[in-house]
Structure 1
């Protein structure tokens, strides 16, 4: 923490953000902005999970001095400070400086990963709604729509919405905003997402912007019919890591045109067990590999011109982005107690200061 504080002081990043912050006090007895924002930053950097934990920083006599702070403010001062920041100004302030800290990585070809994660809530917070929550069904939550520089663990932006807005149409405005903020030479080589984004609305938006994309399709009935039609073909080629693949075209219901898809298939080679409910009883059987072959499959939609092997590897590389999402959610600010206002939650999540 001391070394990172010294880095911020040397580069001037901390002073610039404090000067441009929309936090303003009028009382002569109010704390200094340097002390308030510095305490918030040091608390986040120290991995604190509650406002009350900021008290533990009072014994640190080194880091506050490096950042030009006079003292570590109380937890109540931090809460009141976040409550005083206007929504529009605070959002613009954090987005500007977060983007400034990562834009240099957009000068070379890069991939924009989009993903939605669910944050269960246990207090009384704005936007706490019951929605899709596979780990804690019925628990109110927030939905975090994140836009990520793939393989670099650099976050471009995050949009916080109510827990019942996990669908891709709620993530698309934030995605459009990120793309609009980039110049033509800074645009990503590829926009990549899971099956939640493999729908006509998102794809049409990417095509209208001439932005290459790679999404996974849901296992709909037409996708299954396509797989059934091509399964017995003999022109499958190696797609890496035990997968076989081939390309085709498909036009799903609601699509105005057909699009290129890459179909991936892999034989499961481990010992398998099959279960099925029969009249309230659980039927259990071992799968005889000599008589039965079990496959897993995926269908990717893309406008890339690369071959099957390259497209398959590009989507497999998305697993590294999932690791980054997990780290932010469970090891950094996304898994901690956050301010009560939903827009302040978004600003709080942008607060790791680059």
Structure 2
């Protein structure tokens, strides 16, 4: 086999010519103008970067594959990509560290709810289903807030334990908080819900709230009922709930290996509420989720949900089951958006980058829904191969700069269609 000879060229070529789609899409959202109105940290010298530039460059780094701050340095040498976005330079790793290091708890509380509220105000969608969840992010250093707590994948390792709220209809993040790793599941949940409903989504009608068992407290149930919100929440199998489940009879067989029941239950000094109980036979449903509750019934797993909906048992269970899609959102955030790895020593600096990642995710979700149509569920990893990773360079033609994209002739009409569709977009973005 003969090897090709090697030569070098100084031609400014980018491997991400398709990012010109995202640049034009961001222009249409007008998010830069909103960033300029927020209390973002300002540069300490005239030569410093505009904070909106730093933020957008951070998003661009994530979209092109960065999962650590050091990876963001890659784009400093991609002058063609900088020309696409109209920049003459890109921030360095130390610039990002200094920028996020200026965020505090007060600034995070002022900036991100306003930014999320503005974002969702651009979306013409209402009667939202909000899914609350938490996750674990393993840390390997001595960062503030990283502590030993519940960590199913890396037991004994330090971690952070963030809270997240997802909008089911748009597959987006409504709100997100970072918490120390040794935080109890239900800690700060009410305050998190209040910020989500009263600030981030204050102009939106919430039709249903779904949450896992980490949110199961009487205080939160009372809060949701006080706001007259419908909810389905997984219940913790406390001993008094287990005893009541054990005494149930007249189970309804839904399908082979799955039976349903319901009960009216109240904790001591608590309000009576409706609980839906699912019993799954392990022999017939070996992958079924749930708890093995009773030694006398070793072959059955049980799940329990509390709700204020007056719907048939199977409908309540099916409605809750679609909540599992938020686990896919968390997985994509970790695998494609670097959620696990963008971390600084200071806790509030880490939270700032964490919450900006959520906005980067929302922008990409908005792009793939309105620009890509039948590919609107593609992951970022797929999109990079599908339409972003296109070799491109700039040339001067007739006294103006032109972007040349290397693309097969058959795919050029498709790419032209994307540009045309993006140019015709403008807020509000109407979800059918």
Interval of TM-score (by shorter of Structure 1 and Structure 2): 0.7 to 0.9
Q: How many residues align?
A: 331
The change in CA–CA distance for 1:87 and 1:201 in structure 2 (over 3 A counts) is: closer
SS at match of 2:178: strand
Deviation at 1:3, TM superposition (A): 1.4
Q: Tell me the residue number matched to 1:321.
A: 326
Does the 8 A contact of 2:342 with 2:354 survive in 1?
Answer: no
SS at match of 1:335: coil
2:264 to 214, 236, 249: 249
Deviation at 1:36, TM superposition (A): 2.8
Does the 8 A contact of 1:43 with 1:54 survive in 2?
Answer: yes
Does the 8 A contact of 2:164 with 2:177 survive in 1?
Answer: yes
> Structure 2 matches for 1:267-306, cutoff 5 A?
267-270=281-284, 294-306=299-311
SS at match of 1:334: coil
2:252 to 223, 233, 236: 236
Specify which structure has the bigger relative contact order, considering alpha-carbon pairs within 8 angstroms and separated by 6 or more residues. 2
1:260 pairs with 2:260: no
* Further displaced range: 128-137 or 84-93: 84-93
The change in CA–CA distance for 1:128 and 1:47 in structure 2 (over 3 A counts) is: same
After TM superposition, the score normalised by the length of structure 1 is 0.84
> Structure 2 matches for 1:102-251, cutoff 5 A?
102-103=120-121, 107-150=125-168, 152-181=170-199, 186-231=204-249, 233=250, 236-238=252-254, 243-251=258-266
Does the 8 A contact of 1:333 with 1:349 survive in 2?
Answer: no
Does the 8 A contact of 2:256 with 2:284 survive in 1?
Answer: no
Q: Tell me the residue number matched to 1:283.
A: none
Structure 1 residues 63-95: Cα deviation after superposition (integer angstroms, max 9, x where no partner): 433433221122112211222345423442233
SS at match of 1:162: coil
Q: Tell me the residue number matched to 2:411.
A: none
The change in CA–CA distance for 1:153 and 1:255 in structure 2 (over 3 A counts) is: farther
Does the 8 A contact of 1:247 with 1:262 survive in 2?
Answer: yes
SS at match of 1:189: strand
Q: Distance in 2 between matches of 1:82 and 1:134?
A: 29
Does the 8 A contact of 1:142 with 1:162 survive in 2?
Answer: yes
SS at match of 1:299: strand
Q: Distance in 2 between matches of 1:108 and 1:333?
A: 30
Q: Distance in 2 between matches of 1:104 and 1:266?
A: 43
The change in CA–CA distance for 1:70 and 1:271 in structure 2 (over 3 A counts) is: closer
Q: Distance in 1 between matches of 2:212 and 2:104?
A: 35
Deviation at 1:150, TM superposition (A): 2.1
After TM superposition, the score normalised by the length of structure 2 is 0.70
1:71 pairs with 2:89: yes
Q: Distance in 1 between matches of 2:256 and 2:193?
A: 31
Deviation at 1:117, TM superposition (A): 0.6
Unaligned runs of 5+ in 2: 1-18, 287-296, 364-432
Q: Distance in 1 between matches of 2:210 and 2:328?
A: 15
Deviation at 1:184, TM superposition (A): 7.6
Does the 8 A contact of 2:178 with 2:354 survive in 1?
Answer: no
Deviation at 1:51, TM superposition (A): 1.5
Deviation at 1:312, TM superposition (A): 0.7
SS at match of 2:119: helix
Does the 8 A contact of 1:106 with 1:187 survive in 2?
Answer: no
Q: Tell me the residue number matched to 2:317.
A: 312
